């Protein structure tokens, strides 16, 4: 069956910026893609920042606070119990699928993502470097055992039946906004192996990217001849450093992003268009 472009994708294909992007990929078929929350909003996952790069909503959990304060862990896990199912049900959108197609056709090189949702892998992308970890994994801080988030969700639901069916406003990365009164009777999850303290396998704000992951992303940047940022304001240093590394070595940096980025002064050009529209049109143009 032939797949015809949607109306929004057709509008994207008429944008002169599309030709500029196509020429960029034709010149740099080994380009490194750096993706952020903007590629997953069309899958129903809220972004952290607005188009000015300003963080939305409440301040996120800080890693040191999570490990030091039981009250912070209680707040995190209660909100995650309610919010994670929405993220777990999310599916790749046309932007994720187009990136996988572009890679399969050798129009792009490596892929680094700031996202923890796993949607690039679901879409068929291989060898994805997850700068900030994966929300679908959990690690024990005491015995270092690793567990699936699904297993811990089952434990949370079993131990907190009063929270089943709770509704809350979705927040980024499987979080949800709950009333403080809902935390009073909440039972924290414990490691199924040792009973220890559990943390999601993600890089919290206030924590650094693991050295091995940072080295992998840096190696991919060194191997590429250009960098394309997709759906990210690159406000956090772990992603901005890749932009700076590319620019300092004379490699062009471009972006597909709705709004401001921290790297605007480094960009050869920026296309302000929804990733889920322009990326499929780009894949179709390149064939």
Q: Per the annotation, where are the binding residues for Zn(2+)?
A: 140, 143, 191, 194
Q: Could you confirm whether 147 is annotated as catalytic? A: no
State the catalytic residue, choosing from 132, 136, 147, 265. 132
Buried b (16+ CB within 10 A) or exposed e, 21-41: bbebbeebbebbbbbbbbbbb
DSSP helix/strand/coil, 98: helix
The tokens describing 76, both together, are 């995190």
Alpha helices in 90-145 (DSSP H): 94-104, 119-123
- Give me 250's structure tokens: 């004379």
Q: What is the DSSP letter of 163?
A: G
Residue-by-residue DSSP string for 177-223: E--GGGGTTPPPP--TTTS--EEEEE--BTSPPPHHHHHHHHHHHHH
Q: Which helix (H) or strand (E) holds 275?
A: helix 275-286
Catalytic residues: 132
């Amino acid at each position: 069956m032939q797949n015809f472009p949607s109306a929004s994708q057709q509008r994207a294909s008429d944008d002169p910026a599309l030709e500029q992007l196509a020429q960029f990929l034709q010149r740099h078929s080994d380009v490194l893609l750096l993706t952020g929350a903007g590629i997953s909003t069309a899958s129903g996952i809220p972004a952290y920042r607005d188009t000015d790069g300003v963080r939305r909503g409440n301040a996120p959990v800080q890693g040191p606070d999570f490990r030091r304060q039981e009250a912070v862990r209680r707040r995190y896990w209660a909100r995650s119990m309610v919010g994670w199912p929405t993220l777990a049900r999310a599916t790749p959108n046309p932007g994720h699928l187009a990136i996988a197609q572009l890679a399969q056709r050798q129009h792009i090189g490596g892929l680094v993502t700031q996202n923890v949702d796993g949607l690039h892998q679901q879409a068929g992308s291989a060898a994805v470097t997850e700068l900030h970890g994966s929300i679908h994994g959990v690690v024990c801080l005491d015995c270092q055992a690793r567990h699936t988030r699904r297993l811990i969700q089952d434990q949370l639901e079993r131990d907190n039946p009063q929270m089943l069916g709770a509704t809350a406003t979705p927040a980024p990365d499987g979080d949800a906004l709950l009333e403080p009164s809902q935390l009073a009777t909440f039972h924290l999850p414990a490691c199924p192996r040792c009973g220890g303290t559990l943390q999601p396998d993600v890089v919290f704000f206030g924590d650094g990217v693991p050295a091995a992951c940072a080295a992998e992303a840096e190696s991919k940047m060194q191997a590429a001849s250009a960098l394309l940022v997709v759906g990210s304001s690159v406000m956090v240093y772990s992603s901005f450093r890749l932009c700076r590394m590319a620019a300092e070595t004379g490699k062009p940096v471009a972006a597909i992003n709705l709004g401001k980025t921290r790297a605007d002064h480094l960009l050869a050009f920026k296309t302000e268009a929804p990733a889920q529209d322009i990326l499929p049109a780009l894949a179709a143009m390149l064939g």
